[in-house]
């Protein structure tokens, strides 16, 4: 029973992951917003080299909360984490 529940959870997470269009390194913030929508939270880091931003997205499934992050440097996507 526990294995079946875990398998179902993994299937649901995969479905949530595939429901958003892909992002690409080098995208502008406008392109990323068009692909994934507005972030739930934006964190900024100001350094001597410029401003870096982390956009945080929370899964829309309340039973399986999960966060994804986009990282911008100079207005361009440089990394993501899921």
Q: Does 60 or 78 have the greater pLDDT score?
A: 78
Give 9-64 pLDDT, tens digit per residue: 555 555 555 456 799 999 999 999 999 999 999 999 999 988 999 999 998 777 77
Angle at 58 between CA 56 and CA 61, to 5 degrees: 170
Strands 41-47 and 76-81, bridge-based pairing: unpaired
CATH of the domain at 45: 3.30.1450
Asked if the model's pLDDT at residue 72 lies above 90, the reply is: yes
Joined together, the tokens standing for residue 44 give 């900024």
pLDDT at residue number 76: 97
pLDDT of the residue at 16: 53
The answer to whether the beta carbons of residues 8 and 16 sit under 8 Å apart is no
pTM of the model: 0.70
How many folded domains does the chain comprise? 1
Report the C-alpha gap between 12 and 14 in whole angstroms.
Answer: 5
Domain that includes residue 49, residue range: 2-81
Q: At residue 70, does pLDDT exceed 70?
A: yes
């Amino acid at each position: 029973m526990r294995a079946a529940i875990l398998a179902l959870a993994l299937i649901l997470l995969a479905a949530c992951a595939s429901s958003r269009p892909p992002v690409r390194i080098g995208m502008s913030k406008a392109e990323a917003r068009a692909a994934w929508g507005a972030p739930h939270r934006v964190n900024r880091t100001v350094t001597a080299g410029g401003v870096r931003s982390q956009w945080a997205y929370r899964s829309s499934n309340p039973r399986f909360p999960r966060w994804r992050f986009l990282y911008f440097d100079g207005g361009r996507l440089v990394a993501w984490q899921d």
